Structure 1
Amino acid sequence: MQDSFRLWDWPLRLFHWLLAGSVTAALLTGWLGGSLMPWHARLGSLVLGLLVFRLVWGLCGSTYARWGYILRSLAGLPRYLRGQWQAAGHNPLGVLSVLAMLGLLFAQVLSGLLATDDIATHGPLQPLVSAATSDWLSGLHRQGKWWLLALIGLHVTAIGFYALRGKPLWRAMLSGRARREHAQQADARGGRWPVALLALLLAVAVVWAVERLPAHFMPAPAAAAPALAW
């Protein structure tokens, strides 16, 4: 049996599949609209929580999930293009794809929080900005789905390309282990469940704050004028 090593920790794998499912569902509910728009908003809140979790996990997760390691991999792009890159985790082009995907998802979530459909659904932060700003962000949110679909298409294409070359990357995102090809590919360390629980609690707290706290800062509605006595 070929030697393997621990690559992706279970919180990162769970994040990955939950994000894939929630983004897919958010795209579908947003596309269909109508009575599904409340679900689109709920899924947006779920994506926000997942993104916050990933940000935190990049600081306290296991070796290959940390931002420091990911950014160092990006610095190896010239060596990768020369065919000299040997390391574990995402290759430099994969890092660019991950950063682009996470950045676009953050932009979509933020614009959705401030957007409105002018009918029945609006983001929890929408009352904090002017109508003109909200309309502008709503337009960006609608256009952003095309960029998101393009990135998802590139991601799936890349996975299929590597699978055809005998490197099924999706298996490592299921099992957490990958085939060892170089001596630099050592087992990931860290990423234990108590730290994952703290990251999860922080993500939940951020979502709760975004959805609940703005209402406390809204101006109270003007009191109705007293009825005149005749």
Structure 2
Amino acid sequence: MDAGPHASPEHSASPARRIRVWDLPVRLFHWLTVLLVAVAYVSQRMNWMQLHVRAGEMLLALVLFRLLWGCFGSETARFARFVATPMAAWRHLRHFSRREPDVQVGHNAAGGWMVLLLLALLFAETLSGLYDYNDIADEGPLSEVVPAAVANAIAAIHAWGWDVLAAAIVLHVCAIAAYALVKRHNLLGPMVTGAKHLPATAHAPRRAPLWLAALLMAVAALVTALLAAYL
């Protein structure tokens, strides 16, 4: 689902121009997450636990980066720009069957909530998995002090969390397909190229520098390494 606060009804009558709506960090985050979720699933099914753990750690670092990028990154990546009220999301979905030009610069009102849901599920799944692995391997310092009931609850969250995450991913993919079939909105292409054809009156979103993305990724990797060592 896609994006933003910049759209307005009069845009649909304007000539189109190509606007870059998704920056490189957002697109890399998206596709690396797709890849790592697939690796995590296959490695768990094949009982390749070392690969599963490494994929989980990289996923956690990506999620932490995306949370930071949602606060300090490019305009369309910022939570403050695309998280609408639940009522706005409901109004958007009520008119889903209405075929109209795509004038959204970023996430639409419903898509913003899907982003939050997927990030929350990925965060819960990777963090619980990291603790669960350390607890089983008796590597994490917390494994000696966390009560057994709490440790079992975390393990259950990790086990059931995958099913919930998988259901959310299926919903996300179905929503992308529905937008393409019902509204004729191509949400997948811009996540590959970064650009959309939008009305000429639409404003190109401000992009944060790549050095900031690299810095925030380094911070996310450091936090992940500390969690892996001490959780």
TM-score, length of structure 2 as denominator length: 0.80
**Alpha-carbon distance between aligned partners in 1 of 2:30 and 2:199, rounded to the nearest angstrom:** 24
Tell me how many residue pairs correspond in the alignment.
210
| Structure 1 unaligned blocks of 5 or more | 215-230
For residue 58 of structure 1, what is the amino acid of its counterpart?
G
Q: Which moved more, 1:72-81 or 1:58-67?
A: 72-81
Q: 1:71 to 1:193 in 2, by over 3 A?
A: same
Q: Report the Cα offset of residue 96 of structure 1.
A: 1.5
Question: Quick one: percent identity of the two aligned structures?
Answer: 33
2:74 aligned partner: 62
Q: What is the 5 A alignment of 1:76-225?
A: 76-81=88-93, 83=95, 87-116=104-133, 121=137, 124=140, 127=143, 128-164=145-181, 165-181=183-199, 183=201, 185-213=202-230
Q: Report the Cα offset of residue 107 of structure 1.
A: 0.9
**Alpha-carbon distance between aligned partners in 1 of 2:162 and 2:212, rounded to the nearest angstrom:** 33
For residue 200 of structure 1, what is the amino acid of its counterpart?
M
Q: Report the Cα offset of residue 7 of structure 1.
A: 0.5
Q: Which has the higher contact order (CA 8 A, sep 6+)?
A: 2
The alignment's C-alpha RMSD in Å is 2.7
Q: Report the Cα offset of residue 163 of structure 1.
A: 2.4
Q: Which moved more, 1:10-19 or 1:153-162?
A: 153-162
1:22 aligned partner: 36
Contact residue 19 and residue 197 of structure 2 kept, 8 A? yes
**Alpha-carbon distance between aligned partners in 1 of 2:85 and 2:215, rounded to the nearest angstrom:** 27
**Alpha-carbon distance between aligned partners in 2 of 1:123 and 1:169, rounded to the nearest angstrom:** 43
For residue 170 of structure 2, what is the amino acid of its counterpart?
G
Q: What is the 5 A alignment of 1:26-37?
A: 26-33=40-47, 36-37=48-49
Q: 1:75 to 1:66 in 2, by over 3 A?
A: farther
- 1:4 correspondence with 2:18: yes
Q: Report the Cα offset of residue 136 of structure 1.
A: 2.1
1:217 aligned partner: none
SS at match of 2:19: strand
TM-score, length of structure 1 as denominator length: 0.81
Q: 1:167 to 1:125 in 2, by over 3 A?
A: farther
Contact residue 74 and residue 91 of structure 1 kept, 8 A? no
**Alpha-carbon distance between aligned partners in 2 of 1:174 and 1:109, rounded to the nearest angstrom:** 25
Q: Which moved more, 1:92-101 or 1:76-85?
A: 76-85
For residue 6 of structure 1, what is the amino acid of its counterpart?
R
1:228 aligned partner: none
For residue 7 of structure 1, what is the amino acid of its counterpart?
V
Contact residue 75 and residue 206 of structure 2 kept, 8 A? yes
Contact residue 93 and residue 110 of structure 2 kept, 8 A? no
